[in-house]
Amino acid sequence: MAKQYKKIKIAIVGYKLAGGGLERVFSTVSNILQESDCEVYVIVLENEIEYSYSGTLVNLGNYSKFRKYFRLKSCLKSNQFDFIIDFRHRLNPWMELLFMYYVYAGNKFIYTIHSSRVAVYLTSKDWIASLILKKSYKIVTVSSTLKEILNRQFQFNGSVAIPNSIPINFIEENCDNSHLPFQYCIAVGRLVELKQFDKLIDTYSKSILSSKEIHLVILGGGSEKAMLQKQIEQKQMSDFIHLLGFKNDALSHIKNAKYLVLTSKYEGFPMVILEALSAGIPVIAFDCETGPSELIQNEYNGFLVENQNFKALEQALNRFENDNQLYNLCKENSKASIAQFSNEKVARKWLDLLNIKKN
Mean pLDDT split into 10-residue runs, the chain, 359 residues: 68 90 90 92 94 94 91 96 96 94 95 92 94 94 91 90 82 67 94 94 97 96 94 96 87 92 91 92 93 94 96 97 96 94 90 80
pTM of the model: 0.86
Are the beta carbons of 318 and 143 closer than 8 angstroms?
A: no
Q: Is 66 exposed, middle or buried (0-12, 13-18, 19+ CB in 10 A)?
A: exposed
Residue 94, number of CB atoms within 10 A of its CB = 9
Among 171, 242, 152, 164, which Cα is nearest to 201's?
242
Q: Is 118 exposed, middle or buried (0-12, 13-18, 19+ CB in 10 A)?
A: buried
Q: Cβ neighbours of residue 243 under 8 Å, at least 6 residues apart?
A: 191, 218, 225, 228, 229, 232
Query: What is the Cα–Cα distance from 271 to 334, expressed in whole angstroms?
Result: 15
pLDDT at 1: 41
CATH code, residues 170-339: 3.40.50.2000
pLDDT at 101: 95
Q: Cβ neighbours of residue 35 under 8 Å, at least 6 residues apart?
A: 54, 343, 347
CATH code, residues 9-165+342-353: 3.40.50.2000
Query: What is the Cα–Cα distance from 120 to 278, expressed in whole angstroms?
Result: 28
Bridge partners (DSSP) of residue 321 are none
pLDDT at 358: 62
Query: What is the Cα–Cα distance from 180 to 86, expressed in whole angstroms?
Result: 39
Q: Cβ neighbours of residue 234 under 8 Å, at least 6 residues apart?
A: none
Query: What is the Cα–Cα distance from 138 to 85, expressed in whole angstroms?
Result: 9
Task: Answer left, alpha or beta for residue 130, where phi above 0 means left and psi between -120 and 50 means alpha.
Answer: alpha
> Where in the chain are all domains bearing CATH 3.40.50.2000?
9-165+342-353, 170-339
